[in-house]
Structure 1
Amino acid sequence: MKQLPVSSLGFTLLISALLIGCNQSASNEKSGGSDGKKIVVGATMLSMQNEFIVNVHDEMAKKAEADGVELITVDAERSALKQVEQVESFIAQHVDAIIMNPCEVEASSPAVTKALAAKIPIINVNSETSTKPSAFVGSDDVESARIAMKFIAEKLNGKGNILMMHGYMGQAAQIKREQGAQEILKQYPNLKLLAHQTAEWDRAKGMSLMENWIQSFGSQINAVFAQNDEMGLGAVKALTDAGLKDKVLVVSIDAIPDALQAVKKGSLDATVFQNAEQQGAKAIEAAVKLAKGQPVEKETLIPFQLVTKQNLGEFLKQ
Structure 2
Amino acid sequence: MKNAIFGTLIATALLSGCNQTSEKGSGDGEKLVVGATMLSMQNEFIVNVSDEMEAKAKELDVDLITVDAERSALKQVEQVESFIAQGVDAIIMNPCEVEASSPAVKLAMAANIPIINVNSETSAKPTAFVGSDDTESARIAMKYLAEKLGGKGNILIMHGFMGQAAQLKRDNGAKEILKANPGLKLLAEQTGEWDRAKGMSLTENWIQSYGSKINAIFAHNDEMGMGAVKALEAAGLKNKVIVVSVDAIPDALQAVKKGTLDATIFQNAKEQGSKAIETAVKAAKKEAFDKEVLIPFQLVTKENVGEFLK
Q: Scaled by the length of structure 1, what TM-score is found? A: 0.90
Residue 37 of structure 2, aligned match among 35, 41, 44:
44
Closer, same or farther: CA 311–34 of 1 in aligned 2, 3 Å: closer
**Partners in 1 of 2:141 and 2:196 — Cα distance?**
18
Could you tell me which residue of structure 1 aligns to residue 5 of structure 2?
none
Could you tell me which residue of structure 1 aligns to residue 224 of structure 2?
231
Kindly indicate whether residue 191 of structure 2 is the aligned counterpart of residue 198 of structure 1: yes
Residue 296 of structure 2, aligned match among 289, 299, 303:
303
For 1:280-295, list aligned pairs within 5 A: 280-295=273-288
Show CA shifts across 1:102-132 (max 9, x none). Answer: 0000000000000000000000000000000
Deviation at 1:168, TM superposition (A): 0.7
Query: Where does structure 2 lack aligned partners over 5 or more consecutive residues?
Result: 1-21
Show CA shifts across 1:138-182 (max 9, x none). Answer: 000000000000000000000000000000111000000000000
Kindly indicate whether residue 267 of structure 2 is the aligned counterpart of residue 271 of structure 1: no
Could you tell me which residue of structure 1 aligns to residue 165 of structure 2?
172
Residue 94 of structure 1, aligned match among 87, 90, 103:
87
Could you tell me which residue of structure 2 aligns to residue 215 of structure 1?
208
Q: SS of 1:184's equivalent?
A: helix
**Partners in 2 of 1:303 and 1:234 — Cα distance?**
26
Could you tell me which residue of structure 2 aligns to residue 111 of structure 1?
104
**Partners in 2 of 1:33 and 1:117 — Cα distance?**
23
Could you tell me which residue of structure 1 aligns to residue 10 of structure 2?
none
Could you tell me which residue of structure 2 aligns to residue 131 of structure 1?
124
Code of the aligned partner of 2:263? A
Could you tell me which residue of structure 2 aligns to residue 25 of structure 1?
none
Kindly indicate whether residue 151 of structure 2 is the aligned counterpart of residue 158 of structure 1: yes
Deviation at 1:295, TM superposition (A): 1.9
**Partners in 1 of 2:79 and 2:197 — Cα distance?**
28
**Partners in 1 of 2:269 and 2:59 — Cα distance?**
17
Deviation at 1:35, TM superposition (A): 5.8
Residue 307 of structure 2, aligned match among 299, 308, 314:
314
Residue 256 of structure 1, aligned match among 249, 254, 272:
249
Deviation at 1:227, TM superposition (A): 0.3
Q: SS of 2:155's equivalent?
A: strand
**Partners in 2 of 1:246 and 1:292 — Cα distance?**
54
Deviation at 1:32, TM superposition (A): 3.6
Could you tell me which residue of structure 1 aligns to residue 237 of structure 2?
244
Deviation at 1:34, TM superposition (A): 5.1
**Partners in 2 of 1:164 and 1:77 — Cα distance?**
25
**Partners in 1 of 2:235 and 2:99 — Cα distance?**
39
Q: SS of 1:183's equivalent?
A: helix
Which structure has the larger Rg over C-alpha atoms? 1
For 1:27-66, list aligned pairs within 5 A: 32-33=25-26, 36-66=29-59
**Partners in 1 of 2:137 and 2:113 — Cα distance?**
31
Code of the aligned partner of 1:161? N
RMSD, matched Cα: 1.2
Deviation at 1:72, TM superposition (A): 0.2
**Partners in 1 of 2:248 and 2:262 — Cα distance?**
12
Deviation at 1:33, TM superposition (A): 3.1
Kindly indicate whether residue 182 of structure 2 is the aligned counterpart of residue 186 of structure 1: no
Deviation at 1:313, TM superposition (A): 1.1
**Partners in 2 of 1:274 and 1:190 — Cα distance?**
29
**Partners in 1 of 2:42 and 2:151 — Cα distance?**
36
Could you tell me which residue of structure 1 aligns to residue 7 of structure 2?
none
For 1:77-92, list aligned pairs within 5 A: 77-92=70-85
In the TM superposition, structure 1's runs of 4+ consecutive aligned residues that sit over 6 Å from their partners are none
Q: SS of 2:245's equivalent?
A: strand
**Partners in 1 of 2:119 and 2:132 — Cα distance?**
7
**Partners in 2 of 1:60 and 1:32 — Cα distance?**
18
Aligned residues, how many? 289
**Partners in 2 of 1:136 and 1:225 — Cα distance?**
26
Q: Scaled by the length of structure 2, what TM-score is found? A: 0.92
**Partners in 1 of 2:194 and 2:272 — Cα distance?**
19
**Partners in 2 of 1:120 and 1:218 — Cα distance?**
53
Deviation at 1:184, TM superposition (A): 0.3
